[in-house]
Amino acid sequence: MRIGLFGFPRTGKSTLFSLLTGAAPPHAGGREEARIGIARVPDPRLDRLSAMYRPRKTTPATVEYVDIHGVAKGEAAEAFPLDQLRVADALAHVVRGFRDEAVPHVEGPVDPARDVATMETELVLADHTIAERRIEKLDLSVRKAHRDDDRKELDLLRKCLQALERDVPLRNLEFSEEETRRLRGFTFLSLKPLLVVVNADEADASLLAGGAPAFGLEAATARPSTEVVCLSARIEGEIAQLEADEASAFRAELGIAEPALERMIRASYRLLGCISFFTVGDDECRAWTIHRGTRARPAAGAVHSDMERGFIRAELVAYDDLVAAGSWAACRDHGTLRLEGKDYVVRDGDVINFRFGV
Ligand SMILES: Nc1nc2c(ncn2[C@@H]2O[C@H](COP(=O)(O)OP(=O)(O)O)[C@@H](O)[C@H]2O)c(=O)[nH]1
Ligand SMILES: [Mg+2]
């Protein structure tokens, strides 16, 4: 799972990136290069399994974040640092929520709703340029060759263009499975699921507790494939440096119920429809990320391509059952251990041993 952080300059993208990935802050001054970092997904279930198996290695699921330099209004169609964002599964728009005279905001007064709308238009304009160019080419080739495939693509892109002309992001449209497949190659930005991250001041604890509506973003939460997270990147970055109990005392004092990393990751999983399953053993306990609805065979492929190719069956037990029983063998005795075939739809928290032969 890869998530691209973007937004206006000085909204706290790099501060958030450091908080999520533990990366050192970028050098001050100069145009920053895009950076990729990895966040370990906190999951108490994996900790519990690890305590049970005492494996040599415990490996959490990971999420990749990309930190790019700030984007200005009007840059989208041409100079938008698109390549880094195009390969992302979702985009996270880091929105200025903190007021600080020492850090001027290019868009003027702090107004999250305005910035969300402005940046959305930038994404729409970038996609518009791409759709228009492709339509021009397709139009010519359809006239010449009358290929059915081109015809279908042309119709689809016209549907997209119509929406984009009305400033409607593509994620608001409904597409059939076939259309979704056809659209994949275009990597349209306004089609990607959107996480709006409001970076507010720690002094605004009451606003933060109020969530999206407190920042005038209640409308955004109702949009398709959109999630809103409100946090305070700088203070949470500082808290993350503390010892665990000191950190939770500090969070309690500020009224922060859940650390920013947890909230970002949870929102990302929800947004992308992802779940986790586990593999366990003396060697390694590990969490894996898949899309909800994935069947056992492709889920095995997340672990190893040999397991998918030579898939025989999945031996599995629900996390709660395993913890309650205390061991794999006890699950077998209790009858909670199940054998499932390749078409079984994997559930969040399944602990799986894939049987395979190659
Ligand atoms: N007051 C305040 N300042 C912040 C906060 N988050 C970031 N900043 C400051 O805003 C400036 C820009 O932050 P940075 O993360 O580099 O923003 P970027 O340009 O979006 O990557 C830095 O001086 C940060 O210290 C915050 O929550 N509160
Ligand atoms: Mg930055």
* CATH at residue 332: 3.10.20.30
CA dist 298 and 308 (Å) reads 6
What pLDDT is recorded for position 153? 94
Closest residue by Cα to residue 36 from 66, 15, 56? 66
What pLDDT is recorded for position 5? 94
Rounded mean pLDDT, 340-345: 98
What is the domain-level CATH number for residue 205? 3.40.50.300
Q: Which atom of ligand 1 is nearest to the CA of 17?
A: 15
What pLDDT is recorded for position 315? 97
Q: In Å, what is the CA distance from 172 to each residue of 3, 73, 209, 222, 314?
A: 19, 22, 28, 11, 37
Task: Decide if 287 is inside a domain.
Answer: no
What pLDDT is recorded for position 305? 96
What pLDDT is recorded for position 37? 94
pLDDT band at 152 (very low <50, low <70, confident <90, very high): very high
CA of 34 to the centre of ligand 2 (A): 9
Rounded mean pLDDT, 124-139: 93
CA of 250 to the centre of ligand 1 (A): 21
Q: Whose CA is nearest to atom 18 of ligand 1?
A: 10
**155 and 254 part of one domain:** no
| Whether pLDDT at 268 is above 80 | yes
Least confident stretch, 83-92, 95-104, 201-210:
201-210
CB 273 within 8 Å of CB 45: no
What pLDDT is recorded for position 333? 95
Q: Which one is predicted more confidently, 157 or 35?
A: 157
CA of 358 to the centre of ligand 2 (A): 47
Report how many domains make up the chain.
3
| Whether pLDDT at 113 is above 80 | yes
Query: Which of residues 131, 151, 186 is at a domain's end?
Result: 186
Query: Which of residues 186, 219, 237 is at a domain's end?
Result: 186
Query: Which of residues 208, 239, 272 is at a domain's end?
Result: 272
**8 and 76 part of one domain:** yes
**73 and 213 part of one domain:** yes
**88 and 125 part of one domain:** no
Q: Strand pairing of 194-199 and 2-6? A: unpaired
**130 and 247 part of one domain:** no
**249 and 326 part of one domain:** no
Q: Strand pairing of 90-96 and 2-6? A: parallel
- 168-218 residue pLDDT tens: 999 999 999 999 999 998 899 999 999 999 999 888 877 888 889 999 999
Residues in contact with ligand 1 (CB, 6 Å cut-off): 7, 9-15, 70, 98, 100, 103, 199, 201, 232-234
CA dist 168 and 191 (Å) reads 10
CA dist 334 and 315 (Å) reads 14
What is the domain-level CATH number for residue 170? 1.10.150.300
Task: Decide if 288 is inside a domain.
Answer: no
CA dist 295 and 257 (Å) reads 35
What pLDDT is recorded for position 78? 65
**73 and 95 part of one domain:** yes
Q: Whose CA is nearest to atom 19 of ligand 1?
A: 10
| Whether pLDDT at 79 is above 60 | no
Using CB atoms within 10 Å of the CB of residue 216, give its burial: 0 to 12 exposed, 13 to 18 middle, 19+ buried: middle
Testing ligand 1's pocket by substitution, the residue of 6, 8, 10 carrying the most ligand atoms inside 8 A of its CB is 10
| Whether pLDDT at 138 is above 80 | yes
**30 and 163 part of one domain:** no
Task: Decide if 164 is inside a domain.
Answer: yes
CA of 302 to the centre of ligand 2 (A): 32
- Starting at the earlier edge strand, list the strands of the sheet with 338-340: 57-59, 284-291, 274-279, 350-356, 311-318, 338-340
CA dist 53 and 85 (Å) reads 39
| Whether pLDDT at 25 is above 80 | no
**255 and 333 part of one domain:** no
- 33-72 residue pLDDT tens: 788 999 999 999 999 999 999 999 999 999 999 998 788 7
What pLDDT is recorded for position 60? 97
Task: Decide if 53 is inside a domain.
Answer: no
**69 and 12 part of one domain:** yes
Task: Decide if 82 is inside a domain.
Answer: yes
Q: Which one is predicted more confidently, 358 or 154?
A: 154
- 276-289 residue pLDDT tens: 999 999 999 999 99
CB 116 within 8 Å of CB 128: no
Q: Whose CA is nearest to atom 5 of ligand 1?
A: 234
Q: Which ligand is nearest to the CA of 34?
A: 2
Give me the residues near ligand 2 (ion), CB cutoff below 5 Å: 13-14
Task: Decide if 134 is inside a domain.
Answer: yes
> 20: how many CB neighbours lie within 10 A of its CB?
27
**92 and 13 part of one domain:** yes
**What mean pLDDT is reported for the chain?**
92
What pLDDT is recorded for position 202? 82
Of all residues in the chain, the percent with pLDDT exceeding 90 is 75
Task: Decide if 278 is inside a domain.
Answer: no
Q: Which one is predicted more confidently, 214 or 32?
A: 214
| Whether pLDDT at 26 is above 90 | no
**18 and 140 part of one domain:** no
Q: Which atom of ligand 1 is nearest to the CA of 16?
A: 15
Cα within 13 Å of Cα(303), Cβ side:
26
Q: How far is the first Cα of the chain from the last one, in angstroms, to the nearest whole number?
A: 28
Domain of residue 251 covers 2-43+60-104+194-272
What pLDDT is recorded for position 62? 95
| Whether pLDDT at 74 is above 80 | no
What pLDDT is recorded for position 81? 60
CA dist 49 and 322 (Å) reads 9
Of all residues in the chain, the percent with pLDDT exceeding 70 is 96
What pLDDT is recorded for position 132? 94
| Whether pLDDT at 31 is above 80 | no
Task: Decide if 111 is inside a domain.
Answer: no
